[in-house]
Structure 1
Amino acid sequence: MFELSTTRRGLLRAGAVAMPALLAAPRLARAAGSITVMLESEVVVLDPHAITAAITRSFGYHVFDTLFAQDSGGTVRPQMAEGHTVSANGLEWRFTLRDGLAFHDGAPVTAEDCVASLRRWASRDSLGRMLLAAMRTMRVEDARSFSIDLKEPFPLMLEVLGKPNAPVPFIMPARILPAGDARITEIIGSGPFTFARDQWRTGDRMVLRRNARYVPRAEPADFLAGGKAVRIDELVLKTMPDDTTGVNALIAGEIDYMQYLPFDFLDLLGRNRDLRLMELKGIDMFQGNFRLNHASGPFADPAVRRVMWKLVDQKEILGAIGIPPRFRVENCPSFWMCDAPLETAAGVEVARFDVRAAKAELARTGYKGEPVVMLEVSGSISQTAGHVLAENMKQAGFVVDEQVMDWGTVLARRARPDGWSLFPVYANGVDMVSPLNHFYVANNCSDYPGRSCDARITALLADFARAPDAAARRRVAERIQRVAYELVPSVMWGQFSRPAGYRARLRNLIQSSFPLFWQVEL
């Protein structure tokens, strides 16, 4: 299914931070009405610090807020922050909150909430852990300001605090944050929508209401940055049993937006004058991956893992899914996406589809016919990708056990170190465009599903974060990819886009691979 879905190229741009535009506050249209949307899946986990699932991030961006945020050009801009200062040596940072910030329960947002939230988030995030390693102290200065003192320069400070990759550094009330790994039970943020718990019906719908206390920034909304002015009364997240039901509901006007349209319905939907299709390119496309489990089972053996490079034909998989050529890249061997700043072919020599060669190579490993347990999401395009791979694996001599389930069950199963071998998944390109945010590289040597680990990658990620310019980062990214082709944290099954569809009555809908519903009006 969808992992969670930085460009907007921002993570690659150290120091690219713009101060707020000196614009008059936009005139707010009177909030009116309700829109109903079908997202990529039901929201199962409500704690956005706890998981990397894209659906939880989408929920998070509507209910919570961040200190900094990226705009559509990749620039990191203040969001909850009024601004910041940094010492000449780059070691002392001070952040100040803007006026008017309040949580949904009416309590003001304070520096104490920010420090507590950042500490909790950082311990769970690969980039956050890098920040912690460089940090000497993080402390509250007064009600509206806090400071971070570093042991060594950390050039990507603002890109990290404003990163859109899950887990996102959302700010929450300090009082609701539990100890240890427990999840929050009160869903209280300071974002433009509030969570209506009394309207939540598992398996049916979730309702988010306009936050009357929210004070948007003065500048216009731009992707995740700017003034998040809500112009509707409520947003209904509707759960549908399958894509066909969703398409029928979209055509009938029962829903207003469908995040992922089935490819075989595109021609029909494109001819409907009441509908609009959202087509996205480049780093707003998706990257499909087979995540391998290094902790147990056949893929604990690196020699067995490396056989997989010869069993994935991206063109075959994308064709089997039914993705039209205009929505896909025929073959992309770059971990960091194609048509992207860090695109590279370093190390790809081993990735040549050849089932016969894979069979001979597998025979030379220690593989003894143990079942390869593949977790597949029923009815998803990733299930099709998994089935194509399974057939190739069987021809090469693997014993494959395809187990079909829902995405929530995959999330639970993959969290364990055993009982599974791989799962097919896809993620926003904005989440895979850099070594520092690529799920299966950035989470190297951490307690992350699959538990891949190589000390060389750990050191190179630190080098990437310290690199002084784009050229230096590109060189390090190439070195990381060479190691990744040896380690095989995942095997890419293709780069493609999935158009969203929405009713023509929706105006000013943000054009993004992220489903965003502030600014939209009827």
Structure 2
Amino acid sequence: MRKPFISLILIVLVGLTACTASNGEGAGITVAIPADPDGFHPHHSVAAASAEIAFNIYEGLVKAGADGSVQPALAEEWSISADGLTYEFTLRPDIMFHNGRPLEAEDVIHSLGRLFDEEVTAKAREFAAVDTLEAAGDKIIITLSRPDAAFLALLTEFGASIYPREAEEQLDTRPVGTGPFVLTDWQPNNRLELTRFEHYWQDGLPLLDTVTLQIIPDPNTAVTNLRTGHVDLIPRLEPDYMHQVEEEPGLKFVEGPMNLVQLLAINNAREPFDNLLVRQAINYAIDREEIIEGAAWGYGTMVGTNLSPAMGEWYNPEVDEIYSYSPEKARELLAEAGYADGFSAVLHLPAPYPLHINAGQILAHQLEQVGIELSLEIIEWSTWLEQIYQNRDFELTVIGFTGKLDPHSIIGRYQSDSSRNLNNFDNDEYDSLIRQGLEATDPAERQEIYRQVQEILALDAAAAFIMDPNQIAVMAGDIEGWQNYPVYVLDLAALSRR
């Protein structure tokens, strides 16, 4: 299905200098991103926009691979004890920070010690199993109080980045890491400049000298700048704009599952959404196929849970059949819940993400058919992060939860005491199963547990899960080395120009 393109937006080229002075290695590129980071301190930032850029500035002991595996980073190797309680990492020699100082074991102890401290960061709740953290020469030894099957994957995330201990107070705006690029300039709501780190430990990388990250919230403007050569790469093209560039000469595309789940987040702690029947009615009232076609132009896969089919064996396909589209069933449930005449609510939508706005508009029309009147409020990203994500001051919102390497890192957010529990979901059986899943050492047992928790998420209607939209990266034809990842990062180190 293809829709006619209608735009009431005046297109203005973003004022940029020439994208590159030369081809090949050592050149520069300009990348369009939709939102400004919320800072670069690994323990403070919550925005995906920060994490995707930080992948090029910081490194942890381990990192995510493009194939979804855990790869060595600052640790050249590691071992795990037979009981799953002791992790021993061997640091690489001769690693340099961007400030010119060598990496020391004390920096790892400082960075991870603060990450594991609940008085420092809410992210510490994900590491509740950590008992001790110590250094012995070039070894970092972490002991757990109980097995945690997600622990190694958690160490690949932005929060587990290692930084020089003396830089603690500056990291929000002036990050210092060991990664392939240095942040040399940041003009908020305008652009960021990354420059090649000459002392990067991995031989030959990065291939580019500079990367300009141009903040362009309007995808129409981003596409126009791509077509005119003012931008070289759009990592996540909104599907609505694919028709503008799919026949454009000199451009190429890399498409695949994003491992991101778009959902209608429901505040389970607010009336009337604290009523299970109301949440189930909302799920029956939603035609997910219409949203995929109408908001994503068909570039997406329907989901029934907060795991994507891209997670392979972890995904439970049976949940896809729980809520077939049935407005009649939705009306019956609303009447049973005491809302035969329906009700009204506010649906907040994040401004930088047209996919979520388009989905929200379709959702509003669908829910109207069963008596639920939605007022749409489009809010700026910084406001969304503070009001909706951090303070949970909302009724309904459309958002995408990014994928991770381990299923717990995705669906663990629905634990009642999780700092990431946006939906305020509260289910004792779910909490218990999540804990069992972390401690299970048998992969088959763990897989069965996560199949059960996905059923609970669906049957209890924690949210209305919609789709995993495809990631469509579009770029100048001379750019080489781009890879889509199953996590929300930009890997700029291996990019070059032909």
TM-score band by shorter chain is 0.7 to 0.9
Structure 1 position 209 matched with structure 2 position 195? yes
Query: Which one of 431, 444, 447 corresponds to residue 471 of structure 1?
Result: 444
Q: Any residues of structure 2 matched to 1:479-494 within 5 Å, and which?
A: 479-494=452-467
2:238 and 2:80 mapped to 1: Cα distance?
48
> Does residue 409 of the first structure (1) align with residue 383 of the second (2)?
yes
Q: Secondary structure at the match of 2:223?
A: helix
Q: 1:169 aligns with which of 160, 175, 196?
A: 160
How far apart are 1:441 and its partner, in Å? Answer: 4.2
Q: Does 1:141 align with 2:136?
A: yes
1:446 equivalent in alignment to 2:421: no
8 Å contact from structure 1 (residues 126, 443) kept in 2 = no
1:30 Cα offset (Å): 8.6
SS in 2 for 1:278: strand
How far the C-alpha of 1:234 sits from its partner, in A, is 1.3
The Cα of 1:122 is off from its aligned counterpart by 4.1
1:516 maps to 2:491: yes
Instruction: Give distance in 1, aligned partners of 2:123 and 2:439.
Output: 13
2:394 aligned residue: 420
Contact kept, 8 Å, 2:111 with 2:163, in 1: the verdict is yes
Structure 1, residues 360-419: CA drift from partner, whole Å, max 9, x if none? 211222559764221112361111111111222233222422111222221121135453
Tell me how far 1:354 sits from its aligned partner. 1.6
Corresponding residue for residue 239 of structure 1: 215
Partner of 1:321: 295
| Residues 1:396 and 1:123: Cα distance change in structure 2 (over 3 Å) | farther
Q: Residues 260-281 of structure 1, C-alpha deviation per residue, up to 9 Å, x if partnerless?
A: 3243543452333311111114
Measured at CA, do residues 279 and 323 of structure 1 come closer, stay the same or move farther in structure 2, by a change above 3 Å?
same
- The letter of the residue matching 2:492 is F
> Mapping of 1:217-366 within 5 angstroms?
229-281=205-257, 284-324=258-298, 327-329=299-301, 331-338=302-309, 340-346=312-318, 350-365=322-337
Residue type of the alignment partner of 1:359: R
Give the structure 1 partner of residue 144 of structure 2.
Answer: 150
Corresponding residue for residue 176 of structure 2: 188
Q: Name the counterpart of 1:14.
A: none
Amino acid paired to 1:425: I
Which letter does structure 2 place at the counterpart of 1:65?
A: E
Q: CA deviation at 1:519?
A: 1.4
Residues 1:156 and 1:358: Cα distance change in structure 2 (over 3 Å): closer
Distance 1:344 1:211, change over 3 A: same
CA distance 1:396–1:47, change in 2 (3 Å): farther
Give the AA of the match of 2:131.
R
Q: How far is 1:186 from its partner?
A: 4.0
- 1:370-381 correspondence to structure 2 within 5 Å: 371-378=344-351, 380-381=354-355
CA–CA distance in 1 between the matches of 2:188 and 2:122? 31
SS at match of 1:423: strand
The alignment status of 1:57 with 2:30, answered yes or no, reads no
Residue by residue over 1:47-106, the C-alpha shift from the partner in whole angstroms, topping out at 9 and shown as x without a partner, is 343344321111110111111123233332221002234445443332221112222112
CA spacing shift, 1:334–1:446, aligned 2, 3 Å: closer
**2-structure distance, mates of 1:34, 1:55:** 21
CA distance in 2, matches of 1:269, 1:30: 24
TM-score (norm 2): 0.84
SS at match of 1:499: strand
Please point out which of 102, 114, 126 is paired with 1:120: 114
Cα 1:45–1:452 shift into 2, 3 Å: farther
Any conservation in 2 of the 1:111–1:146 contact (CA below 8 Å)?
Answer: yes
Distance 1:156 1:381 in 2: 30
Report what 1:84 is aligned to.
78
Q: Which has the higher strand share?
A: 2
- Aligned counterparts of 1:93 and 1:232: Cα–Cα separation in 2: 35
* In structure 1, C-alpha distance between the alignment counterparts of 2:448 and 2:186, rounded to whole Å: 49
Among the aligned pairs, what percent are the same residue? 22
User: How many residue pairs align between the two structures?
Assistant: 467
Pick closer, same or farther for the CA change 1:463–1:245 going to 2, 3 Å. same
The correspondence for 1:93, drawn from 87, 93, 108, is 87
2:36 is aligned, of 42, 51, 64, to: 42
CA gap 1:372/1:151 in 2 versus in 1, 3 angstroms: same
| 2:475 pairs with 1:499 | no
SS in 2 for 1:147: strand
Q: Which amino acid aligns with 1:250?
A: L
Query: Could you tell me how far apart the structure 1 residues matched to 2:259 and 2:426 are?
Result: 27
TM-score by length of 1: 0.81
Q: What is the one-letter code of the residue matched to 1:136?
A: D
Distance (whole Å) between structure 2 residues aligned to residue 101 and residue 456 of structure 1: 46
Structure 2 unaligned residues grouped into runs of 5+: 1-22
| Distance in 2 separating the partners of 1:242 and 1:89 | 51
Alignment CA distance shift 1:257-1:303 (3 Å): same
CA drift at 1:111: 2.0
1:127 and 1:436 in contact (8 A); partners too: no
Aligned-partner residue type, residue 273 of structure 1: P
Matched-pair contact (CA < 8 Å) for 1:190–1:214: yes
SS of equivalent residue, structure 1 residue 206: strand
Residues of 2 paired with 1:264 and 1:153: CA distance?
45
Letter in 2 for 1:495: D
Which range moved further: 57-66 or 455-464?
Answer: 455-464
Q: For the Cα contact (< 8 Å) 2:254–2:484, is it kept in 1? A: yes
- Cα deviation for residue 238 of structure 1 reads 0.6
Distance 1:126 1:155 in 2: 20
Q: Secondary structure at the match of 1:300?
A: coil
Q: CA deviation at 1:41?
A: 2.4
Which runs of 5 or more residues in structure 1 are unaligned?
Answer: 1-28, 219-226
2:417 maps to amino acid? C
Q: Distance in 2 between matches of 1:490 and 1:80?
A: 38
Q: CA RMSD in A?
A: 2.9
